[in-house]
Amino acid sequence: MDSTTLKGLIIKNFLTAILILLLSSIATASKGDSPVIGVPAIEPYAVLVNQKSEAIISTEVIAPDNNLKNVIVKMEKGSKWVKIGTLQDNGKNGDLSAKDGTYSARFKFFQKKQGDISLKIIATDKNKNTVEGEVKLLVKSREADAKPKKIIPISGNNQTGNPGEILKEPFVIKVENELGKPVANVPITPSIIQGKGEIITVAGAKKSEQRRKFYKSGSEITIYTDSNGEASFNVKLGDSDKDLKILITSPLLPGQSVIFFAIVSSVDTPDLPTDLDISGNYVFIADRFSGLQIVDISNSLEPKITNTFSEAFGKKLSSQSLSVNNNICYLVNYDPNKLLVIDVSNPEYIDFQKDSDNDGIPDALLTSIDLPVDTLDISVKALIEKQSLFILFKNSVNKTGKLVVIDISNPASPVVQSTFNNINDAPEDLEIKGNFAYVACDSWGIVVLDIQDLSSPVFSGSFGKNVFSSISISDNYLYYVDYGNRLHVVDISTSNSPSETGSIQTIEGRYADIAISGNFVYLASQEVGIQVFDISDKKNIKLVGEIDTPSVAQKIKISGNFAYILDKAFGLYLVSIPGSDEKDSDNDGVIDFFDSFPQNPDEVADTDKDGIGNNADEDDDNDGYTDVEEINRGTDPLNPRDFPVNLPKADVKEIFVASKAVAGGNGSSDNPYSSITEALLAVKASGIQINEIIVKPGVYSYLSNKEFFPLQLPSDIILNGSDASNTIIDAGYSSWAIFIKEEENVTVEGFTIKNGNAGILANYSNFLTIRNNVIENSEFSAIGIGPNSFNSKIEKNIIKNNKERGVFIFSNSSADIIKNNIISDNKDYGIFIAESSIAEDISWNTIAKNVNDGIQVYENSSAKIKNNIISENIMEGITIAANSIADDISDNTIIKNGMDGIQVNINSSANINSNTISENKMEGIFVAIDSTVKNIAENTITKNGEDGIQVSYNSSINIMNNNISKNTRVGILISTDSASDDISGNTITENGLSGIIVQDNSSAYIKENFIRGNIYDGIFIAGNSTALIGLTGGKLKITSNGDDGIDIDEDSTATINTKNISFIKNKDKNIEGEYQSP
């Protein structure tokens, strides 16, 4: 057989996202110590009194080793629980699909009284371990069938478009009654309350007009719900770059509303944008793993990505910061730590794909240099002054930093001038004024470096403290925000004696990015949006306006009449800002652009947007407390997140929350707080150690009970929900749902957590426990832990339908346990361990149908992966990559994944034992690029779409005692400068090409295997390769293969002990080609 037919095997890029339709059903079961039950559901959730009704009860269940005995349902009758039936996973009697892990059944009910029917679902395994879940069926009066109860947003929110366009998707709401059934003919009023646009609608079921009509924003229009309880409308964007807010109300549902958001003049980026710079008609964006994104802004109302630079040096770029000057872009890359110098004089037409000498470096790159920093040093700022590039780095492990200065007087030949290493406290930003560099350094304040001699910067002093924002310099003034959210203005005209000239409290200024234009300071304040302050009088700074942003505003640059904002969820978008000729119609000192009442000299601001100016409004922030009461009790009358609370009793260790409670409780069971926000304020204000916040069933969101997100948890607290089935935290995509920063011993359990930018995010925090939750529909990762966060436990959660990763452990962090979770249908990795992080125990999980890998361990990280079911993920089942280690991948079932079952790549290592690896679309096991697997043993590797095992590109493996059969191509392929010192004890049968191939300058020691029924050769040695065959050990049996028993190509060598080999019924020769005897 010609060896060239087997060459050209492709090394697959483990980071490439292949977006295809998800397959139809969730993987069935996980193994574990005891059964795990999901959130029980009942449909419908309410029935009518005195009427025979049916309802389907269902729940997801996983059990160890498929040893589930039964799932029963009991109903509460008086003081007893009475069994009423069982749930089955058989596709019958209300169960939608057999063997999909969801157990369901249809039950009949007839109740003579209104109230709740309490139902208990109990899963029991054969070892008599049990787990329970509860659900309630509501029994309502007959009037409840017709009366509308609530408006529900269905689809259309957070669309993006350009002025003059009709948004592609309609906005859809639904009205339900108390039974959860749709209500028809309910009048619905949509109105545009911010921005310009037109509502386009077809009159509803009750109206006779069926032609399309155009309504100006603010017009009084009414549409009606259809027979499905739904009403929809489209929106045409007006000639404004201001984002639209659309308010949905109904006269039949007073006090209820839904707000939709439409983003004008924006362009999303593929990954997470981290930095931007503006040059001419282009915005340059560092977009992490999507590299450099170049956006054409020549038409400010229709920005568009015009070019992308995402790969060099044989791998994806990981861009962190950049600066553009004189048509040269200086891009700071993280992995590897390099400075890339790019000529961007004609950005739209740069060919980043052209690589004339095939060295992996695009021709468009003028040059690149290695940066003198450590692996975990991440660039946080790059700026150009004095023909030098200054790059500030922060180490994500120890919070130290360094400043690197590079001479760029000749851009094609940059030279490192100096490195200042003694920045000792979490540097966040850098600005330069004259001969001094100013570095924002957390508790150190502003550190000042004398840079008159660029070859040797020296420490000059410091001022301020607890700087938790970027910094900005304009004229002789420096601006920063402290940990207490106060904006400070410091006169630095005399560098050795800076003096504060003024300050003002912000709503939320920590972690803000600061930009200055004219007399205004703009704070990109994360989930709060953009706060604007008038600094014309620096001793009397005034808050003059806010610009809403749809998600998390993290960077802002000002150019001309526009603010260019990087939003974590929505990429780049443009917002107009006031020009120099703005008028002040009412002469109240605030220009019309920011004046909420431009014709009323007595009013300027309307903090709560209720139409009443702050001077006349007794409760400016609409938090339920008058301004006078808030001032008297020491809270901020302009911040709805900060309001007075009644303190719990001094001796209590637990406090209670109920979403239907009246605000102003004291946290007792009989008088609970009305929101988790209120309870957290009470914990902070009380000064006593509260051990547990017990949250009663209900929906906890801004609309339902004025929750403010993120919910920031303190140390030594348990946030304990009643049950994930009935205790719901809904962040409404306003921020992270739960945030933990620099805390310890925090537990979150018993919730459904949904619609957050992240479900739970923890920074610099240790000993966290996250269990028994459902976390879904997050904009990014469901759970994110890092940097520098250790000893977390993540167990018995259902993590599904999140837009990025299910679990993300990053930047020198660790998880002790990731166990007994169902992690499915996430749009990126199921579990991602990255950037020098550790997962000690990933076990007993079901990880299915995620759009990227089921599990990836990446970049100097390590994990132990045992007893999981990993199936139907779009890419690899498991990937170990980029100097990472998995010394125990064992007893997993890895099936039907879209690429490899297991991939070990780029200088990584693993031990792979006792797994079932079957029906994956590419290799069962793929080892490549300087990687090592000491043991591949006792695995069953069958029916994979390409090779059973492939090792390529200078890698090595030992393969013992595996069953390798019915793979589409080769059973074992050793290729491209790779080696196996021990291929023994394996059963290698019925593979679609040969049993074993050693090719392309590779080597192998083959002994004591049973090789039968492969389509071509039993063993094939080719491409200048060598093999030792049958020299030691028991008999090597080679039988019934479709070509030769052993085939040695003429350019290869083999030493064969024929006395220790049994050849039986191979179709052609027992040995083809020349060989040596031992």
pLDDT at site 1019: 97
Q: Are residues 116 and 218 in the same domain?
A: no
As given in the structure block, the two tokens for residue 179 are: 């039974």
Q: Are residues 127 and 57 in the same domain?
A: yes
pLDDT at site 248: 84
Q: Are residues 947 and 1054 in the same domain?
A: yes
pLDDT at site 681: 93
Q: Are residues 233 and 187 in the same domain?
A: yes
Q: Are residues 934 and 957 in the same domain?
A: yes
pLDDT band at 19 (very low <50, low <70, confident <90, very high): very low
Q: Are 223 and 169 in contact (CB under 8 A)?
A: no
Q: Name the range with the highest mean pLDDT among 444-453, 530-539, 916-925.
A: 916-925
Tell me if 414 is assigned to some domain: no
| pLDDT higher than threshold 50 for residue 840 | yes
Give the position of tokens 């509460």. 76
- Beta-carbon contacts of residue 891 (< 8 Å; ≥ 6 apart): 866, 867, 913, 914, 915
Tell me if 176 is assigned to some domain: yes
| CATH of residue 957 | 2.160.20.10
pTM, two decimals, is 0.69
Q: Are 235 and 264 in contact (CB under 8 A)?
A: no
Q: Are residues 988 and 1070 in the same domain?
A: yes
pLDDT at site 145: 62
What's the total number of domains in the chain? Answer: 5
Q: Are residues 881 and 1009 in the same domain?
A: yes
Q: Are residues 136 and 198 in the same domain?
A: no
Name the least confident of 178-192, 193-207, 385-399, 985-999.
193-207
From 144, 174, 192, the end of a domain falls on 144
Name the least confident of 162-166, 237-241, 630-634, 900-904.
237-241
As given in the structure block, the two tokens for residue 676 are: 């988790």
Tell me if 462 is assigned to some domain: no
**How many CA atoms lie within 13 Å of 764's alpha carbon, on the beta-carbon side?**
9
Cα 1051 to Cα 309, 326, 999, 1025: the distances in Å are 42, 56, 10, 8
DSSP state of 678: H
Distance CA 252, CA 503 (A): 47
- Residue 799 phi, psi (nearest 5): -125, 105
Q: Are residues 1021 and 1059 in the same domain?
A: yes
| pLDDT higher than threshold 50 for residue 295 | yes
Tell me if 440 is assigned to some domain: no
Distance CA 971, CA 995 (A): 5
| pLDDT higher than threshold 70 for residue 29 | no
Q: Assign residue 421 a region: left if phi > 0, alpha if psi is -120 to 50, beta otherwise?
A: alpha
Q: Are residues 613 and 576 in the same domain?
A: no
Tell me if 986 is assigned to some domain: yes
Distance CA 524, CA 526 (A): 6
As given in the structure block, the two tokens for residue 28 are: 């069935």
Q: Are residues 923 and 1048 in the same domain?
A: yes
Q: Are 273 and 320 in contact (CB under 8 A)?
A: no
pLDDT band at 26 (very low <50, low <70, confident <90, very high): very low
Tell me if 26 is assigned to some domain: no
Q: Are 393 and 401 in contact (CB under 8 A)?
A: yes
pLDDT at site 1053: 96
Tens digit of pLDDT for each residue in 441-465? 888 889 999 999 999 999 999 998 8
| CATH of residue 560 | 2.130.10.10
Mean pLDDT for the chain overall: 86
| pLDDT higher than threshold 70 for residue 206 | no
Tell me if 937 is assigned to some domain: yes
Distance CA 594, CA 978 (A): 67
Beta bridge partners of 932: 909, 956
Tens digit of pLDDT for each residue in 63-87? 766 788 899 999 888 888 989 999 9
Domain region containing 637: 606-641
Q: Are residues 104 and 163 in the same domain?
A: no
Tell me if 402 is assigned to some domain: no
